[in-house]
């Protein structure tokens, strides 16, 4: 049992560093008009596409690691958000929009984008 906790701690530290390194990269890849452009009303067909399956299989371990980090050392919420960002599922846009409209989030995201010489995200 002790070795399990050691490995979970190592995984937690690894995903913490990885999430800090990948966060700016993910944020600058978002198009500036992402939250204001029209969306496809037929959302469920996304799950049947092969690239969506691959993205979900890659994002699921990151999401689970983030959930584990809520009780282990590490950036749990940040890792959960990165895992959800990798994944592709119905309702993802509404979840992203909800997160970005929280107080200070859009300001922080646009600060990171400004430091990387990218235009700010347009507010939803």
Reported as a single tens digit per residue, the pLDDT across 78-123 is: 778 788 888 888 888 888 888 888 888 889 889 989 999 999 999 8
Residues in the chain, how many? 124
User: What pLDDT score does 81 carry?
Assistant: 78
- Where does residue 62 rank: exposed (0-12), middle (13-18), buried (19+ CB within 10 A)? buried
How much is the pTM? Answer: 0.68
Indicate if the pLDDT at residue 73 is higher than 70.
no
Percent of the chain with pLDDT over 90: 11
What is the spatial distance between Cα 27 and Cα 4, in angstroms, rounded to a whole number?
Answer: 33
């Amino acid at each position: 049992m002790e070795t399990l906790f050691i490995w979970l701690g190592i995984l937690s530290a690894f995903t913490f560093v990885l999430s800090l390194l990948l966060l700016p990269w993910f944020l600058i890849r978002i198009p500036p008009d992402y939250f204001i452009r029209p969306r496809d009303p037929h959302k469920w067909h996304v799950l049947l596409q092969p690239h969506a399956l691959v993205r979900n299989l890659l994002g699921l371990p990151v999401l689970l690691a983030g959930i584990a980090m809520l009780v282990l050392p590490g950036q749990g919420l940040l890792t959960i958000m990165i895992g959800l960002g990798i994944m592709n599922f119905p309702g993802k846009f509404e979840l992203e929009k909800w997160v970005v409209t929280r107080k200070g989030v859009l300001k922080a995201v646009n600060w990171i984008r400004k430091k990387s010489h990218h235009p700010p995200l347009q507010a939803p």
